[in-house]
Amino acid sequence: MVGEVDAAHATLQVHEGAVYIHEGRSYLVEKLDLEERQAWVWPAEVEYYTEASTETQIEVISVHESRVSGGAELGYGEVFVTSQVTQYRRVRRFTHENLGILPLDYPPTTLDTAAYWLEVTAEAQEALMEAGNWRDSPNDYGPDWQEQRAKTRERDGYRCAECGAAETRNRQHDVHHRVPFRVFNYIPGLNRNDRLANRLENLVLLCRRCHYRLEAGVRARTGMDGVAYALGNLAPLHLMCDRRDIDVAIIRQQFEGELLSHRPPAASPPPQEALTAPRIYIYERIPAGIGFSAQLYERHDELMVGAADLIRGCACRYGCPACVGPVLLVDSAQLAGRQDSDRPDAAAMPGSSGEEIRFWRDTPGQSGAPVEPRPLLETKRLALALLAALAGD
Ligand SMILES: [Zn+2]
Ligand SMILES: [Zn+2]
Ligand SMILES: [Zn+2]
């Protein structure tokens, strides 16, 4: 036997294909048997580490207390958490280069526990939007989406543009944005940046498998992602608990009414207005909770100041694992997908303050000087703007 992990985290830490580090040695997980509660591992020296991602749903069962503080609406109470490990990435050590993403198929786990949560007030969100610092709305692909989607499927001949697999009768392929939709900063009613994002040259038809792979290479981390990451590392210090005693999740798509009920989510999504703001939850891994959530609620202001100090004080430029989490730098070749693609590169897109950023026009190497890779979103800047808004500055 090599080591032990707690059952709740088994699919996260020792899923098939995971690199498991124990006492400084790395092991490759060959098989995970959930019924036997065993994983088979082999000692292996590999050039990468693995990072599993979880899909989480959180239902608020009861609100113990809530208040508005500055630009933040916060609360704590009892929650029901459903989480499922759905895929993992292989990431090259040291350079954090993405080496591919692979799907996983494990049953969801559930947890009855306590959580502290926070979201941005509507006014603070509006101010962030006006300043160009808000990228956390649930993705609304704009009024032309269905039409552009249909055109893309037709153009690509109903086949995956990467591997050539045809759509099946049961499942249409996905239409993917080469430059992620969020990057374009579409604000319904305020601009029509959706038209830029949904131009046919930015869209491509992909089968599920190829979609996973390409998506992993261009994950854009928002301000919420950055703040949640920082809080996840800070909260245990404030609570003097183990990092594994808490988990952090951002819930982006939740509907009014769904928050305080046991009803399953509606089959057809209600209109956009019924959506609540995205929310960061810090929930306790110990069933029923042991008071951490109440403490976080009490120490909210302190926590926000701590997060801002941590991020501001970090020496990195766009964000790193020590502050807002790893920020992937990308270049045009990565976004274009297949190297021999004859599609045009992703072109100009609106920058944070309205100016055009044209860092993907040139094919690297073609213009002589190599194109400097850039982040899709400047997570660090967005996270600091979000924290300022939450504080009510
Ligand atoms: Zn494919
Ligand atoms: Zn996609
Ligand atoms: Zn940093």
Residue 156 maps to a domain: yes
Number of structural domains, the chain? 1
What is the distance in A from the centroid of ligand 1 to the CA of 355?
Answer: 35
What is the distance in A from the centroid of ligand 2 to the CA of 323?
Answer: 26
DSSP string, 346-376: P--EE-TTS-EE-TTSSPTTTTSSPPPPEES
State the Cα–Cα distance between residues 63 and 8, nearest whole angstrom. Answer: 25
Residue 105 maps to a domain: no
Residue 160 maps to a domain: yes
State the Cα–Cα distance between residues 140 and 138, nearest whole angstrom. Answer: 6
Per-residue pLDDT of the chain (393 residues; tens, 9 = 90+): 778 887 778 888 899 999 998 888 889 999 999 888 889 999 988 889 998 888 889 999 999 999 999 999 999 999 999 988 888 888 888 877 778 778 888 899 899 999 999 999 999 999 998 898 998 887 789 999 999 999 999 999 999 999 999 998 888 999 999 888 888 888 888 889 999 999 999 999 999 888 877 776 667 889 999 999 999 999 999 999 998 899 999 998 765 554 444 444 444 544 444 556 899 999 999 999 999 999 999 999 999 999 999 999 999 999 988 999 988 777 655 555 543 333 334 344 443 333 333 333 333 344 455 567 778 889 999 999 999 999 987
Residue numbers of the domain that contains 160:
136-219+329-375
Ligand nearest to the CA of 179: 2
ipTM over 0.90: no
Count of alpha carbons within 13 Å of 29, Cβ hemisphere only? 24
For residues 140-171, one letter each, b for 16 or more C-beta atoms within 10 angstroms of the residue's C-beta and e for the rest, the string is: ebbeebeebbeebbeebeebbbbeeeebeeee
Ligand nearest to the CA of 197: 2
Ligand nearest to the CA of 315: 3
Residue 100 maps to a domain: no
Residue 86 maps to a domain: no
Residue 197 maps to a domain: yes
What is the distance in A from the centroid of ligand 3 to the CA of 70?
Answer: 25
Q: Which two tokens stand for residue 20?
A: 């498991």
What is the distance in A from the centroid of ligand 2 to the CA of 47?
Answer: 27
Ligand nearest to the CA of 167: 1
Closest CA to 346 of 196, 214, 185, 186: 196
Closest CA to 140 of 71, 190, 178: 190
